[in-house]
């Protein structure tokens, strides 16, 4: 479904009329989303302003130039960008701290290294850096602040300073959201710096269009060979997507296939028609299976191990299947409660347990779909919210246990996404839900698919046990 307000906001005459009449209408910016598979230089000709006073100047330099960006470096760290700039034809542009940004320069991204901040007084560096530049951030731009995790400090003042970065970034996300721009905080544990480039490429690119106000934590718990292909990252891998017949699941199947994966498309019996269409479109396999059936885990494991299917094992598992059975608790039937929990949580646990026996590859990626309702709760969704919060807890608990096998598991909590389910909402409820985000609009199924694809890729090895919101900076939840 098209968002009429987003479409109208692209018309200069409409924008001017709203402004002149003083109408209380938000003017959401149409987000810049990519078409097609991953590209080698996703930041081609983008101006990235870098404040690199900490330990990450060389990491930033090795990330930006190969991705096609032109680094504008504020401060003395510009020397770290010279060699990569020469190698990739992207020489750095130097700026002195405190200088007024050049007239006419629009920044596509502002990237700040906060790893050296250790006291509340050090936070002034955020103001000094961003104050003159934030107004030069272009439409659909990016703001990224990279620091150390607060948990890594024994000094309370240093931990407080690190934690402050999250609040700063969440506020910035809401300030720049009106222009379609986003902001993120990235916390890199000591020893995990080599895992930062892949995440930066993703967050700075158009593939993260609907993600904002999100903290990301990178660590080195999961063994990794260091390989993070910039194109076709899933070449030769096999992936399972549940609930693949339509909507978000269908979009995920297409996205994974576009990056080289052979996709097993799973959905319930009775949906064989649309399921077969999706499987055929992505040149994958279809499996009609009721995931709540007690025999489903064994049946899925047997399907994967069956030599006739030539799968061997799964490299990616996406638990996308989910249902809602909404009623207030006083009016809810026991069947509604049981159905929601069985599909949204029990099946996730049981299928994963079965696959972990011998049906997953040594560096498998598991992605589970949660929901912002699982983080914040929602009226009439006590069963759904409980099940989706359970997914978050499951991911957090399982991550350490499978890290030594080189495997990761993460959850995604979507906000309002334009699907057939949201189309069924009353018009006013739908409109309010769209505007409850910093970006002032709902997401699209491909926004979730892009995040799933990144989490399924080898470059996501530094992320595990996390619950990542894909909600456009929604104003509910933590």
Annotated active-site residue in 127, 336, 384, 394 = 384
Domain containing 443: what range?
A: 238-470
Span 227-242, average pLDDT: 96
In the listed set 190, 218, 246, which residue is the last one of a domain according to the structure?
218
- Of 250, 249, 340, 336, nearest in space to 292 by CA: 340
Question: Are residues 163 and 32 located together in one domain of the fold?
Answer: yes
Question: Are residues 197 and 249 located together in one domain of the fold?
Answer: no
Is 384 designated active site? yes
Q: How far is CA 114 from the centre of its chain?
A: 22
- Write out the DSSP string of 271-287: -HHHHHHHHHHTT-EEE
Question: Are residues 144 and 263 located together in one domain of the fold?
Answer: no
Q: Is the pLDDT of residue 18 over 50?
A: no
pLDDT digits (tens, 9 = 90+) for 409-422: 999 999 989 887 66
Question: Are residues 78 and 203 located together in one domain of the fold?
Answer: yes
Residues paired with 412 in a beta bridge: 369, 468
Q: Is the pLDDT of residue 13 over 80?
A: no
State the Cα–Cα distance between residues 216 and 204, nearest whole angstrom: 14
Question: Are residues 334 and 379 located together in one domain of the fold?
Answer: yes
Q: What is the pLDDT, as a whole number, of residue 23?
A: 44
**73 within a domain of the structure (yes/no):** yes
Contact 388, 395 (CB under 8 A): no
pLDDT digits (tens, 9 = 90+) for 67-90: 999 999 999 899 999 999 999 999
Question: Are residues 204 and 289 located together in one domain of the fold?
Answer: no
**5 within a domain of the structure (yes/no):** no
- The pTM of the full predicted model, rounded to 2 decimals, is 0.93
Domain count within the chain:
2
**248 within a domain of the structure (yes/no):** yes
Question: Are residues 315 and 361 located together in one domain of the fold?
Answer: yes
Mean pLDDT rounded to a whole number for the chain: 93
**127 within a domain of the structure (yes/no):** yes
- Of 368, 473, 465, nearest in space to 415 by CA: 473
Q: How far is CA 165 from the centre of its chain?
A: 19
Residues paired with 414 in a beta bridge: 470
**9 within a domain of the structure (yes/no):** no
**402 within a domain of the structure (yes/no):** yes
> What torsion, rounded to 10 degrees, do the Cα atoms 367, 319, 335, 422 define?
90
Question: Are residues 242 and 336 located together in one domain of the fold?
Answer: yes
Span 183-208, average pLDDT: 98
Question: Are residues 170 and 247 located together in one domain of the fold?
Answer: no
**141 within a domain of the structure (yes/no):** yes
Question: Are residues 179 and 246 located together in one domain of the fold?
Answer: no
Report the CATH number at residue 41: 3.40.50.720
Q: What is the pLDDT, as a whole number, of residue 225?
A: 86
**224 within a domain of the structure (yes/no):** no
Question: Are residues 261 and 208 located together in one domain of the fold?
Answer: no
Confidence of residue 266 (pLDDT cuts 50, 70, 90): very high
Span 191-212, average pLDDT: 98
Q: What is the pLDDT, as a whole number, of residue 159?
A: 98
State the Cα–Cα distance between residues 370 and 433, nearest whole angstrom: 18
State the Cα–Cα distance between residues 67 and 207, nearest whole angstrom: 14
Question: Are residues 214 and 242 located together in one domain of the fold?
Answer: no
Contact 191, 220 (CB under 8 A): yes
Q: What is the pLDDT, as a whole number, of residue 419?
A: 81
């Amino acid at each position: 479904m098209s968002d009429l307000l987003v479409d109208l906001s692209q018309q200069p005459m409409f924008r001017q009329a709203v402004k002149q009449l003083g109408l209380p209408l938000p003017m959401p910016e149409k987000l810049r989303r990519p078409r097609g598979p991953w590209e080698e230089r996703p930041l081609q000709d983008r101006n990235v302003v870098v404040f690199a006073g900490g330990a990450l100047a060389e990491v930033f330099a090795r990330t930006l130039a190969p991705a096609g960006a032109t680094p504008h470096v504020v401060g003395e760290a510009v020397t770290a960008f010279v060699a990569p700039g020469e190698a990739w034809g992207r020489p750095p542009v130097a700026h002195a701290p405190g200088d007024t940004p050049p007239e006419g320069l629009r920044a596509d991204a502002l990237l700040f290294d906060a790893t050296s901040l250790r006291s509340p007084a050090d936070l002034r560096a955020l103001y000094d850096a961003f104050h003159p530049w934030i107004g030069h951030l272009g439409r659909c731009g990016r703001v990224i602040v990279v620091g150390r995790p607060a948990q890594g400090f024994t000094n309370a003042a240093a931990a407080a300073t690190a934690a402050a970065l999250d609040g700063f970034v969440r506020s910035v996300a809401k300030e720049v959201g009106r222009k379609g721009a986003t902001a993120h905080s990235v916390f890199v544990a000591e020893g995990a710096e080599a895992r930062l480039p892949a995440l930066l490429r993703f967050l700075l690119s158009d593939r993260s269009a609907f993600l904002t106000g999100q903290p990301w934590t990178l660590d080195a718990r999961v063994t990794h060979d260091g390989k993070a292909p910039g194109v076709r990252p899933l070449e030769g891998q096999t992936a399972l997507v549940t609930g693949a017949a339509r909507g978000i699941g269908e979009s995920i199947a297409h996205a994974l296939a576009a990056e080289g994966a052979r996709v097993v498309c799973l959905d319930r019996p009775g949906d064989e028609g649309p399921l077969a269409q999706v499987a055929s479109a992505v040149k994958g396999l279809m499996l009609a299976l009721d995931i709540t059936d007690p025999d489903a885990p064994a049946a899925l494991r047997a399907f994967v191990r069956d030599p006739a299917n030539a799968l061997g094992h799964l490299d990616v598992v996406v638990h996308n299947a989910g249902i809602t059975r909404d009623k207030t608790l006083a009016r809810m039937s026991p069947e509604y409660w049981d159905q929601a929990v069985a599909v949204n949580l029990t099946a996730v646990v049981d299928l994963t347990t079965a696959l972990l026996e011998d049906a997953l590859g040594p560096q498998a990626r598991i992605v589970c779909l949660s929901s912002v309702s699982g983080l914040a709760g929602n009226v009439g969704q006590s069963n759904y919210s409980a099940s989706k919060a359970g997914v978050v807890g499951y991911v957090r608990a399982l991550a350490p246990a499978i890290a030594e096998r080189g495997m990761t598991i993460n959850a995604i909590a979507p906000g309002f996404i334009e699907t057939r389910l949201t189309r069924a909402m009353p018009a006013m409820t739908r409109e309010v839900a769209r505007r409850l985000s910093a970006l002032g609009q709902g997401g699209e199924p491909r926004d979730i698919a892009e995040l799933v694809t990144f989490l399924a890729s080898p470059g996501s090895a530094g992320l595990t046990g996390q619950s990542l919101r894909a909600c456009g900076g929604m104003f509910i939840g933590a």
